[in-house]
Amino acid sequence: MPTTTDLDGLGLDTGGHLLVGHALEQLSPGDQLTVTGRHPALAVHLAAWCRDQGHRFDGGDQLVITKGAAGQQRWHGAVRAGDPAGPPDQAADQRWGLAARGALVETGGPPIGAEWADRDHVWADIAPRLYAAAAAAQWDPATAVDWSAQVHLPEAAEHAVVQIMTYLVENEQAALIIPARLLSKIHPHFREVMQLLATQAADEARHVEIFSRRAMLGGGPLGTSSAGGRASLQTLLTEPDFTTASFLLSVLGEGTFVDLLRFVHRHAPDPVTADVTRLALRDEARHVAFGVAHTAHAARADPGYLGLLRQAVERRHAALLDTAGLNNVVFDALVLLAAGSWEPEAISRGFAAVQQLQQAMDQGRRRRLAFIGFPPGEAAELSALHTRNFM
Ligand SMILES: [Fe+2]
Ligand SMILES: [Fe+2]
């Protein structure tokens, strides 16, 4: 049965191709479609369009298109890139490339070449919820901190705060680079992890800003950066495996940092120091939550992973054996911060508080290591091997 579509005055160059294409969609290869219309260049345009689309065209008294098979062949072998709502597939196909999860993917595009295309290498079931929480919890450094608050500390206290802030900034810079590097190598099929790491990098960018700003608030120079501290962070930057990097940075490093930030917040001598540590603390809790959940996921999927994680801790410990670990002026600044004055009794209290902090850090690491699947004895051993630089 002959089929006709009427374009009226519509030209093929101003949308008429949609009507012709829509009419052809209903037909099978070899079927004919007659096109009518008043546009003066209709026959010329149809001839060119049909050539391009792989249809035969006869432009006699009537304009007749015979449908070609090219359109169907083009989508032959096309596959769905998983389910858009998730959960993501176990193995993401490199040939899906940048296609949206759930899209019908035409064959022949460039493969993405993602380093991690296996779900267990990057995933945690909590990732979509953590991403939603992170997106909802973004704050503005300009207004979330009352920068106009009075900060007139005695010189020694200001000096201690500035030293701690200087140290925090260098740690935050490592914490910014690592998720940015990891997310660039994940298959985009695991988009919630990619999105979560993007918010994590944005969080760290803000932490760099607020700690730098607090350090500069008093108008004095910044504190010192030790070679040992930087060496410790540098080992994190080069960790090639996603799970191991996430484990070392988020489970052990940021996990330890949560206790540190809580400590500085509790002993903050001014409202700005209290604000900046409170804001960072809130974000860090999410970073730790993902690291722990993902590492536990990877260890459940492959119990052999615990051995690899253990080796990573031992390797890092060996690499840092000759370094001093924590900048001693940072340690002293923490003591002074908790002491609040130069009185011997206060310093003694401050010293005890920093020792308690280190115990709390150790307990926190052991708890997280046990959650991931390490037996308690091994968790204690690994916690003890963690860098003295905290991160
Ligand atoms: Fe941070
Ligand atoms: Fe973080």
Q: Of 68, 63, 119, which is closest to residue 91 (Cα–Cα)?
A: 119
Helix, strand, coil: what percent of the chain each, to 5?
Answer: 60, 5, 30
Contacts of 167 (CB under 8 A, 6+ apart): 223, 225, 229, 327, 330
CB 208 within 8 Å of CB 172:
yes
Q: Could you say which ligand is closest to the alpha carbon of residue 249? A: 2
- Cα of 191 vs centre of ligand 1, distance in Å, is 22
Q: What is the pLDDT of residues 302-357, one digit of tens each?
A: 999 999 999 999 999 998 888 877 888 999 999 999 999 999 999 999 999 999 99
pLDDT of residue 1: 56
| Cβ atoms of residues 251 and 371 within 8 Å | no
Of the candidates 82, 128, 124, the residue with the CA atom closest to the CA atom of residue 103: 82
For residue 5, the SS3 value is strand
Nearest ligand for residue 277 CA:
1
DSSP 19: H
Distance 178 CA to ligand 2 centre (A): 10
Per the DSSP assignment, residues forming a β-bridge with 79 are 105
The CA 367 to ligand 2 mean position distance, Å, reads 19
Q: How far is the CA of 180 from the centre of ligand 2 (A)?
A: 12
Which ligand sits closest to the CA of 178? 2
CA of 286 to the centre of ligand 2 (A): 8
385/375 Cα distance (integer angstroms): 16
**Residue 346 C-alpha from the chain's centroid:** 42
pLDDT in tens, 37-91: 999 999 999 999 999 999 999 998 999 999 999 887 888 899 999 999 989 999 9
CA of 203 to the centre of ligand 1 (A): 6
Distance, in Å, from the CA atom of 218 to the CA atom of 212, rounded to the nearest integer, reads 11
Helix (H, G, I), strand (E, B) or coil at 34: strand
Q: Which residue has the higher pLDDT, 40 or 151?
A: 40
Strand partners, 57: 65
Q: What token pair was written down for 218?
A: 């008093």
Q: Where are the beta strands (DSSP E) in 262-373?
A: none
Contact partners, residue 31, CB within 8 Å, separation at least 6: 3, 66, 67
Give me the pLDDT at residue 72, please. Answer: 79
Please name which ligand lies nearest the alpha carbon of 285.
2
pTM: 0.91
pLDDT at 2 over 80: no
In DSSP notation, 41-108 reads: THHHHHHHHHHHHT-EEEESSSEEEE--SHHHHHTTT-EE-S-TTSPPPSB--GGGTTPPTT-EE-TT
> Of 327, 182, 168, whose CA–CA distance to 253 is shortest?
168
Q: How far is the CA of 287 from the centre of ligand 1 (A)?
A: 8
pLDDT higher than threshold 60 for residue 33: yes
What's the 30 CA to ligand 2 centre distance in angstroms? 61
Spatial distance between the Cα atoms of 69 and 6, rounded to a whole number of angstroms: 23
